[in-house]
Amino acid sequence: MKYEIKEAEKFKFIETEGGEETLLLLHGLFGALSNFGGILEHFGAKYNVVIPILPIYELPLRKVSVKGYVEYIREFVEYKGYGKVHALGNSLGGHIGLLFTLQCPDKLKSLILTGSSGLFESAMGSSYPKRGNYEYIRQKTADTFYDPKMASKELVDEVFDIVNDRSKLIRILATAKSAIRHNLGEELHNIKVPTLLIWGKQDKVTPPFVGEKFHELIPNSELVFVDKCGHAPMMERPGEFNKHLEAFLQKVE
């Protein structure tokens, strides 16, 4: 199902307007909108599923940081006039969700993290050696998944084009360095909203011990592992992911 990308003020976003409860999806550094296709299809008619498109390549370089994206999300939520939202973030999107929850707890009804950064950042890297090497980029993209076939040519081409565009690459590296600087281990005990952690058992980017550490440090959290699954469970195991997410949302509501 195709969803129109809407524009209002400085914001670009997808919005299903399917229900009163808002499910806010926060994508990662290489997070194509197709990453959330399974969630949009399953929840789009029951929830107001919203994907704000992070301005990674539009923000002035001085504002390119995890905190800059959190400010953008805060402004977006206020502009749209949402009540309390359920925020779901993958990878960098999880990091943004964590900071948003810490800064604006009154805006959150629940938090869902999958393969989130915020504790273990070395996997994000600070450089892209061999970035002109297509095979290298194909392998790095395949490492995101348990099943390397998930790294379609379309997805690899998208990542390859991004890392070979100097302006985009500078912003990707600035974001990655910002994430490394903003480790949240000392602050996670302040998160009080119900939190669901959905983790791929074979995640190579943020391995299972990272999910376990989040679970240990976030008081009101529950952790579920998805087998035969890498860094993006909502893409690789959408049926199982949606089952866990639906049960959690029903419990919170």
**Across the strands, what pairs with 52?**
13
User: In this predicted structure, what is the pLDDT of residue 140?
Assistant: 86
Task: Give this prediction's pTM.
Answer: 0.93
Alpha-carbon gap, residue 71 to 154, rounded angstroms: 31
Name the residue ranges covered by the structural domains of the chain: 6-121+182-252
Alpha-carbon gap, residue 113 to 15, rounded angstroms: 20
How many other C-beta atoms can be found within 10 angstroms of the C-beta atom of residue 71? 16
Average pLDDT over residues 153-161: 89
Strands 221-226 and 195-200: parallel
Alpha-carbon gap, residue 123 to 110, rounded angstroms: 27
Alpha-carbon gap, residue 116 to 119, rounded angstroms: 8
CATH superfamily assigned to domain 6-121+182-252: Alpha/Beta hydrolase fold, catalytic domain (3.40.50.1820)
pLDDT tens readout for residues 184-215: 999 999 999 999 999 999 999 999 999 999 99
Q: Where are the alpha helices (DSSP H) in the chain?
A: 37-43, 66-80, 92-103, 134-142, 153-163, 166-181, 208-217, 233-236, 238-252
Burial of 126: CB neighbours in 10 Å, binned 0-12, 13-18, 19+: exposed
pLDDT tens readout for residues 87-134: 999 999 999 999 999 999 999 999 999 999 998 865 444 444 456 788
**Three-class SS state of 74:** helix
Average pLDDT over residues 241-253: 96
